[in-house]
Structure 1
Amino acid sequence: MPGFTCPFCNQIMSIDNTTVRSYHPSFNKPNEDIISISQNHCHSSTVRITFYNCPSCMKSTIKVTGVGNQVKDMTSNFYPNSVAKQFPDYIPEQIRNDYQEACAIVNLSPKASATLSRRCLQGMIRDFWKISKGSLYDEISELNGKIPADLWSALDGLRKLGNIGAHMEKDTSVIIDIDPSEAENLIVLIELLMKEWYINRHERDNLFSKILTTTAQKQAEKKGK
C-alpha cells in the first residue's frame, strides 16, 4: 500500500491501523457502520473523517470526504487546510506562496488553483532558467530541446489548463470545468519541478562543494608531510 507524506515534516509514513483511522458520522449516527458504508446504505449526510497520525512528528492530518448522496462530491483538507508541502527558503518566496495558495483552494476553486499553478510555472521558468518573454507560451517554447520531451509536453499541458482559469472563452456560453483531481495533478507537477530543478541543484552544489573542500584538505595534508 502506498505511503502518505506528512504535510508538517514531509516524512513518508506507512498506512496501516496504527497510523490511519476513519470514522463515518452522520445526522443520525455518530459513527456509521463500515458494512453499511460499503453497501451504500448510509445516511445521505454521512461523511468520512480520516486521521493520519505521523509517527515522526506526532502531528495529525485530518481529511473530510463526503460519502452520502447529499455530500458525495465534497472533499476537504480540514487540518491543515492545505495539502501544501514545506519547501526550502532558497526557492523564491513568491513561487512558494503561489504554490501554497494553489493547494489551499484546490477543492474550493480548481480553476483558480490551476491558474496559480500556471503562475508558479512561469515564475520558475523566469527564475531558474532565466527565460523571460512576452508570454508563458513563448517561454515554454524556449525550453524546447533543453528539457526532456515528455516533461516539455507536460509543461505545455499545465499552461493550457491554467489558461482555462485565467482567460474567458470567446464564446461565453461554453463552460469548461477543471475538477479537483485535475488541479491536484498540476500541483504534483509543480512539486516535481521544485524537486528536480531547485532541490536537486542545491543538493548537487552542496555535494560538489564538499568533495572539492575535502580534496583541498587532503592535498594540503599531503604537502605538509
Structure 2
Amino acid sequence: MICPHCSTAAKYEWKTTQAMKVDEEESKGTKIAYSTCPNCEEIVVYLQRGELEYDNIGMDYFEDIEWQKMIYPKKENFTNSDDIPKLYLEDYEESVKVLSASPKASAALSRRLLQNILREEYKIKEKTLVQEIQNFIELEGIPSHLTDAVDAVRNIGNLAAHPTKNKNTGEIVSVENGEAEWLIEVIEALFDFTFIQPLKLQRRRKELNLKLEQIGKPEMKKKE
C-alpha cells in the first residue's frame, strides 16, 4: 500500500490485537491491525471486522476480513477539492463512501475513475486498462512515485491475468484485503499531480506577476 504519512509504496508486516466479539451467535468480531512504515517508521492503524475462526491452540483469526477502516492517521478530504473536476470528484467520493460496506464496489469505481482520467486527461485510449497503464508510465515528466503507484494497479486483483476486469473496469469483482484502499490512494496521488499542483503553480505565478507589475518589472516568461 501507499504510506499515508510519506506517500511511498511500502510492504507492511501487520500485527493484530485479540478479537472483540460483536455477535455471539454468528461469531463476528473486530480487531485492531497495526504496523509501521518501513520507510518513515510511522504507525498505521486499521479497524477490521470479520468472521472469527480459531486455530488448534485457541488463537482467533479472520478467515475473511469483511471490511476495514483506517483509524490512524485520520484520513482527511482534499483541501483543494475545488481544483478537481466535478465529474471525477463525484466518483472518488462515492468510492470512499462505499469502501467500508463493499470494497469490491469501491475498487470497481476507482478502476473506472482511473481509466477515465487516463483517457480524458492524458489522451491514452487502448483496448485494456493494463495497456493504458503501461502507456501512462512511459510518458515523460511523470514522477517515479506516481508511475510506481499506478503501475501497481495492474497487480490489484491480478488485473493483468483477468480479461474481464481488464476490459470492463466498472464490473464488481473480488479484491484482496487492502486493494480497494490502495486504489483510492492511487487516485488521490493522480489528482494531486494532474489537477492540484498545476493549479497551485498557476495561482502562484499570477501572484508573482502581480507583484512584478506593481514594481514595474516584466512578467515571468512561460516555457514553450
TM-score band (shorter)? 0.5 to 0.7
Once residues 145 and 158 of structure 1 are traced to their aligned partners in structure 2, the CA distance between those partners, rounded to angstroms, is 17
Q: 1:89 to 1:134 in 2, by over 3 A?
A: farther
The answer for unaligned runs of 5 or more in structure 1 is 6-37, 50-62, 78-82, 170-175, 221-225
Q: Secondary structure at the match of 1:120?
A: helix
Instruction: Show structure 2 runs of 5+ residues with no match.
Output: 6-16, 24-28, 33-45, 54-60, 70-74, 167-172, 218-224
Residue 85 of structure 1: aligned partner: 77
Superposed counterparts of 1:67-216, under 5 Å: 69=52, 73-75=65-67, 85-86=77-78, 88-143=81-136, 144-146=138-140, 147-149=142-144, 151-159=146-154, 161=156, 163=159, 167=164, 177-216=174-213
Distance 1:216 1:205 in 2: 16
Offset, 1:206: 0.5
Equivalent AA in structure 1 for residue 77 of structure 2 = K
Per-residue CA deviations over 1:116-137 (Å, capped at 9, x if unaligned) read 1111212222333243445434
Cα 1:167/1:160, change in 2 over 3 Å? farther
Amino acid at match of 1:186: L
- Higher relative contact order at CA 8 Å, sep ≥6: structure 1 or structure 2? 2
Amino acid at match of 1:109: S
Q: Number of aligned pairs?
A: 161
Counterpart code for 1:96: L
Rounded Cα–Cα distance in structure 2 between residues aligned with 1:64 and 1:103: 16
Which residue identity lines up with residue 185 of structure 2 in the other structure?
V
Q: Aligned partners of 1:142, 1:96: CA distance in 2, in Å?
A: 24
Asked whether the equivalents of residues 104 and 174 of structure 2 are also in contact (C-alpha less than 8 Å), the reply is: yes
- The percent of aligned pairs where both chains have the same amino acid is 27
Q: What one-letter code is carried by the residue in structure 2 that aligns with 1:85? A: N
Larger Rg: 1
Change (3 A) 1:194 1:218: same
1:209 positional shift: 1.0
Q: Which amino acid aligns with 1:196?
A: F
Which structure's residues are more often strand, by fraction?
2
Q: Are 2:50 and 2:67, in contact at CA under 8 Å, matched by a contact in 1?
A: no
Query: CA contact under 8 A between 2:96 and 2:184: conserved in structure 1?
Result: yes
1:65-120 CA-to-partner distances (Å, cap 9, x unmatched) read 5488389644466xxxxx77245233122211221222222233323322211112
Once residues 208 and 153 of structure 1 are traced to their aligned partners in structure 2, the CA distance between those partners, rounded to angstroms, is 30
RMSD of aligned C-alpha atoms?
Answer: 4.0
Amino acid of the structure 1 residue aligned with 2:191? M
Structure 1 letter corresponding to 2:149: A
2: CA distance, partners of 1:69 / 1:99: 32
